[in-house]
Homo-oligomer: A and B are copies of this chain.
C-alpha cells in the first residue's frame, strides 16, 4: 500500500494504558537468564531502534554485537577496573552499600551490544547540528531508549553498563576511529521482573515526584 493510501492510526485509551504499563515495567536489568533470545528477534529489535528520530535524518547509530569471548573479557576487565575505582570514592555506609550492588550483567547476559555514534556522518548533510553537534550522540541515545522499550515489550531485558572506559571498549569492539561509544548494553531474558528500580530496592536512591521537575517561565 502506498504512503498516501495508508490511514492514520488511532491510538485508543486501551493502548495508551498498556503503553504506560510498558514504561512502568521497563527496568535496567542486571540479572539475566543464560538462554539467548532468538537471533532474528534481536535483529528485529535493532530495526525498531532505527525508527528513532535523528538529527537531519542522519541515522548515526552503529550497532556492534560483541560475540567473541576475548572481546567480552576485555570489556569485563574494563568494568572491573572502573568499578573498583568508583568504590574507592565512597565511604562508610555508602561504600558498603555500593560494594553489595550488582551493577552489570556482563557475566551472564547472552547478548552484548555496543552502540556507537558516527560523529560526523555524511548522511543528513550536517542539517540541525551546526550549533549543537551533540545532537548526533543524542540521536543514538534515542535509538537506545526505543530499543529498550521494544525489547521489554518482547519480554527481553536490557541493562546499560556505563562503568567503563569508552576508549578501551571501542578498541575491544574494533570500532572505527570516528565512532564514539554511547552505551554498552546487555540483553537477555531477565531472571525476574519488577516495577521498582533495582537501585531503589537496594536502598541506594529513590524516585522523586516528576512534578518537582517542572518549571514555568
Q: Chain A residues in contact with chain B, CB under 8 A?
A: 3, 6, 8-9, 11, 15-16, 18-26, 28, 43, 46-53, 55-59, 61-68, 71, 82, 85-86, 89-90, 94, 98, 101, 103, 123-132, 134-135, 137-138, 141-142, 144-146, 148-150, 152-155, 160, 162-166, 173-174, 182-183, 193-197, 199-200, 204-208, 210-211, 213-217
Max count, chain B CB within 10 A of own CB: residue among A21, A61, A148, A213? A213
A63-B215, A183-B138 given as contacts; is B16 within 8 A of A204 (CB)? no
- Count identical subunits in the complex: 2
Give the 9 A-B residue pairs with the shortest CB-CB distance, closest first: A50-B210, A141-B141, A57-B205, A23-B51, A142-B145, A8-B193, A145-B145, A47-B210, A11-B153
User: Do B204 and A3 touch (CB < 8 A)?
Assistant: no
Q: Evaluate contact between A103 and B128: CB separation under 8 angstroms.
A: yes
Residue numbers in B under 8 Å from A124 (CB-CB): 199, 205
CA distance A197 to B149 in the complex (A): 21
Q: Are B22 and A89 in contact (CB under 8 A)?
A: no
Q: Is there contact, CB below 8 Å, between B9 and A21?
A: yes
